């Protein structure tokens, strides 16, 4: 009988009794927060984990416990340089991984930024869309050949995808007033749509893709937000929760936040999560696009899992990065 997990389940809960010996995993964003815990949990259960980070000095310091737990659990951990805001770095990382010829059983696209001031990546893309989506789009597609049958891609998205659908006519806010959370919402919707399209392309060879919302966690991610912004957001969520007769919002711990990525990557049935969006260690219901915005209720917006929309984003992403992926 399959065990049921939920919002308060931790990485150790979902991996209880699971051996990952012989499994090879790539996790991006291992210099803080969810990325560190995700890598630690997987390595502690025997996986060979490659952690990607922009700042290797910071990542080396942040992952001391990862190495210690890997040694105790029979896993391994190594670092590789990756700056998702620079496609030259992204392609260099992919080249380095491809040169080894070593296959992956799981890729967790975890790294990202949130609510940044208006700015651009090195390649001229709006920072959040360029970093959260396009950087991973190029990296994952370039190493797709290393993902062996049975492998999975887990894109870490967010309930923030409900703030906005992607805008394929103006992805860089050249004609639209910039709003940090609209930009974040676009990038998180793109994470889900990318998983939908990748899953459609690779499922026939046994490779699946999914997207997850980790929940609300206090990490470095909100570092660009103004003082008091998080408190104001939580107050708004609680007001909405009270109106709907629901309990107040509770932040998750980092091990609770990383649990859904781990669950979707190695515990859940592939057919259950492939091409879908999950939160709190279960697949989420689809919310009609005309339903009022809510950050209280569970669910994924219909626009974020629309396969036709996913194909349109794929084509636009190829056009933007100047590369075609079969």
Active site residues: 184
Integer Cα distance of 269 and 267 in angstroms: 7
C-alpha 257 chain-centroid distance: 12
Integer Cα distance of 34 and 264 in angstroms: 15
3-state helix, strand, coil split of the chain in percent (to 5) is 45, 15, 35
Picking from 136, 109, 101, the residue whose alpha carbon sits closest to that of residue 51 is 109
Query: Is residue 275 within 8 Å of residue 199, measured between CB atoms?
Result: yes
Looking up tokens 């998702």 gives 84
Looking up tokens 């929940």 gives 215
C-alpha 259 chain-centroid distance: 12
Q: Which residues contact 92 (CB under 8 A, 6 or more apart)?
A: 81
Q: What are the distances in angstroms from CA 306 to CA 86, 227, 321?
A: 29, 36, 22
């Amino acid at each position: 009988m399959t065990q049921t997990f939920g919002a308060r389940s931790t990485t150790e809960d979902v991996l209880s009794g699971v051996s990952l010996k012989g499994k090879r995993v790539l996790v991006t964003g291992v210099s803080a927060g969810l990325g560190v815990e995700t890598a630690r949990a997987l390595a502690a259960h025997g996986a060979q984990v490659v952690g990607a980070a922009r700042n290797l000095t910071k990542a080396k310091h942040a992952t001391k416990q990862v190495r210690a737990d890997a040694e105790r659990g029979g896993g391994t951990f190594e670092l590789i340089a990756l700056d998702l805001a620079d496609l030259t770095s992204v392609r260099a990382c992919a080249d380095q991984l491809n040169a080894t010829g070593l296959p992956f059983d799981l890729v967790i696209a975890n790294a990202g930024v949130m609510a940044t001031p208006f700015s651009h990546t090195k390649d001229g893309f709006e920072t959040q869309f360029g970093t959260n989506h396009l950087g991973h789009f190029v990296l994952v597609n370039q190493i797709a050949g290393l993902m062996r049958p049975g492998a999975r891609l887990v894109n870490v998205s967010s309930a923030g995808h409900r703030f906005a659908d992607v805008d394929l006519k103006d992805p860089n806010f050249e004609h639209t007033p910039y709003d940090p959370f609209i930009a974040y919402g676009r990038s998180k919707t793109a994470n889900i749509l990318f998983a939908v399209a990748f899953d459609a392309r690779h499922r026939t060879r046994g490779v699946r893709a999914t997207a997850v919302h980790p929940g609300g966690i206090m990490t470095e991610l909100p570092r660009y937000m103004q003082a008091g912004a998080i408190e104001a957001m939580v107050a708004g969520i609680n007001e909405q929760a009270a109106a709907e007769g629901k309990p107040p919002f509770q932040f998750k711990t980092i091990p609770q936040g990383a649990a859904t990525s781990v669950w979707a990557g190695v515990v859940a049935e592939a057919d259950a999560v492939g091409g879908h969006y999950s939160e709190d260690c279960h697949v989420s219901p689809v919310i009609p696009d005309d339903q009022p915005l809510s950050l209280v209720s569970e669910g994924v917006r219909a626009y974020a899992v629309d396969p036709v929309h996913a194909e349109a984003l794929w084509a636009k992403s190829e056009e933007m990065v100047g590369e075609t992926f079969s």
